[in-house]
């Protein structure tokens, strides 16, 4: 099982950070993401509950459905489609808290690559490693804008 958890403090207002993280169609502006698009709009807000974003990074494609949308403090998602690796994604959640004009961000993602033996022994560990780097890089980019 992979279990990614990244914590950062960003010297930006909480709404600015939330808006950047929930702007699904523009994730390609982050390092390592080749393409992003909003393939289904949310029920009340285009980036909100029920929205589905597609993220392409290298040869990987993920569809992530927004399952929690509580601006500006929480964004939850679930990977519903993935290739080439099959994900059993249990939770993806970004929580934000504003303290003294800064935003404290916690980004967690848990799941499992469902390839027998190699999923547990190899791919989950790779997702842990590269997922942590990717989440950290996205948050660093938001902090530097």
Q: For residue 18, what pLDDT is reported?
A: 98
Q: Give the containing element (helix H, strand E) for 5.
A: strand 2-10
- Local confidence band at 6 (pLDDT 50, 70, 90 cut-offs): very high
What confidence tens digit (pLDDT) does each residue in 76-127 have?
Answer: 999 999 999 999 999 999 999 999 989 999 999 999 999 999 999 999 999 9
Residue 23 binned pLDDT confidence (cut-offs 50, 70, 90):
very high
Percent of the chain with pLDDT over 90: 97
pLDDT at 27: 95
Q: 94 with 21: CB under 8 angstroms?
A: yes
Q: What average pLDDT is seen over the chain?
A: 96
Q: Is the dihedral of CA 82, 86, 90, 91 positive or negative?
A: negative
Average pLDDT over residues 17-46: 95
Query: To which residue do tokens 């709404």 refer?
Result: 15
pLDDT on residue 78: 98
Q: Please, what are the domains in the chain?
A: 2-144 (3.30.530.20)
Q: What is the pLDDT, as a whole number, of residue 112?
A: 97
Percent of the chain with pLDDT over 70: 100
Rounded average pLDDT over 125-143: 96
């Amino acid at each position: 099982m992979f279990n990614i958890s990244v914590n950062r403090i960003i010297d930006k207002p909480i709404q600015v950070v939330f808006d950047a993280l929930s702007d699904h169609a523009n994730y390609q502006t982050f390092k390592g993401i080749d393409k992003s698009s909003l393939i289904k709009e949310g029920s009340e807000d285009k980036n909100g509950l029920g929205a589905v974003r597609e993220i392409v990074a290298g040869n990987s494609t993920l569809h992530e459905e927004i399952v929690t949308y509580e601006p500006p403090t929480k964004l939850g998602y679930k990977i519903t489609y993935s290739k080439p690796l099959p994900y059993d994604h249990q939770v993806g959640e970004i929580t934000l808290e504003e303290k003294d004009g800064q935003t404290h961000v916690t980004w967690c993602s848990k799941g499992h690559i469902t390839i027998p033996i190699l999923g547990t022994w190899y791919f989950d560990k790779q997702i842990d490693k590269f997922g942590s780097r990717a989440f950290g890089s996205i948050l660093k980019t938001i902090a530097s804008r």
